[in-house]
Amino acid sequence: MTNSPTLIVMIGLPARGKTYMSKKLTRYLNWIGVPTKVFNLGVYRREAVQSYKSYDFFRHDNKEAMKIRKQCALVALEDVKAYVTEDGGQIAVFDATNTTRERRDLILNFAKENAYKVFFVESVCDDPEVIAANILVGAECS
């Protein structure tokens, strides 16, 4: 079991540095020879719902949007599986907020079914200036 693939699961509120850390970690691990790839759920979501331009998509009482978000997570996890089984990946970084117990349970069950090791990494930032700067950078890159 020592060579089982690893799933690093980022956790944190928006604009807290999850994607930044995911990219830096992935770059380093690839540099030292460990095949690693980031799976950013925002990319999957944007592909799935190009027409949704409202913050209502992120409301917890929006059942349709919650179903779409869960489906995006499942598609991303299937891509993780393909990366590990077909492309020789050793580490996958699942980059999303992952703030709900339901989402983390979904990920844990997926990892257990596929015999992956799991690390949860929470990015916490409560500095309003840093958060505001992260939001601006994110808006420029979107």
Quick: pLDDT tens for 61-118.
778 888 888 999 999 999 999 999 999 999 999 999 999 999 999 999 999 999 999 9
Distance separating alpha carbons of residues 31 and 25, to the nearest angstrom: 10
* pLDDT tier, 56 (very low <50, low <70, confident <90, very high otherwise): low
Whether pLDDT at 1 is above 60: no
Please enumerate in sequence order all residues whose Cβ is within 8 A of that of 80, keeping only pairs 6 or more positions apart, or say none: 7, 39, 92, 94, 110
111, two tokens:
């990892």
The pTM assigned to this predicted structure is 0.86
Q: What value does the mean pLDDT take over residues 118-130?
A: 88
Instruction: Report the mean per-residue pLDDT for the chain.
Output: 88
Q: What value does the mean pLDDT take over residues 35-39?
A: 98
